[in-house]
Amino acid sequence: MLGKRTKKAESFGKAHVKKNDNVLVLSGKDRGKRGKVLRVIPTKGTAIVERVNFLKKHTKKNPQKNQQAGIVERESPLRVSNLMVVCPSCDEPTRVASKHSDEGTTRNCKKCDADLSR
């Protein structure tokens, strides 16, 4: 159509973190904190980590949702590039390796070669 612009969706590629991964925050105000990934948003290249990167949101009272007025603290998304997966067996932050076999692809720790699957 003439005069109408469409916004292209940016591609951030496949994220190296997945839901329920334990991660370490590499930069920002919460650098050094560890937490579990609650949600990954691949279209924005971000992830929400449990108990990390809190923001305060002011809410109005909403009787239909039984919501009180006040200030609510909740997690906000972090860039996936600022996160590093923590290996459950060696308890070290590590990069993720992909191992291909006849059964399928697995995610492994680069340091101890342990399987990162849950």
Mean pLDDT over residues 2-28, rounded?
A: 84
Q: What band does 118 get if pLDDT is binned at 50, 70 and 90?
A: low
Contacts 24+ apart (CB under 8 A), 37-46: 37/83, 38/75, 40/15, 40/80, 41/77, 42/12, 42/14, 42/15, 43/9, 43/10, 43/12, 44/12, 44/77, 45/10, 45/12, 45/13, 45/15, 45/79, 45/80, 45/81, 46/77, 46/78, 46/79, 46/80
Query: What per-residue confidence (pLDDT) applies to 20?
Result: 96
pLDDT tens digits along 16-75:
999 999 999 999 999 999 999 999 999 999 999 999 999 999 999 999 999 999 999 999
- Domain spanning 22-59+69-109 has what CATH number? 2.30.30.30
Query: What per-residue confidence (pLDDT) applies to 117?
Result: 81
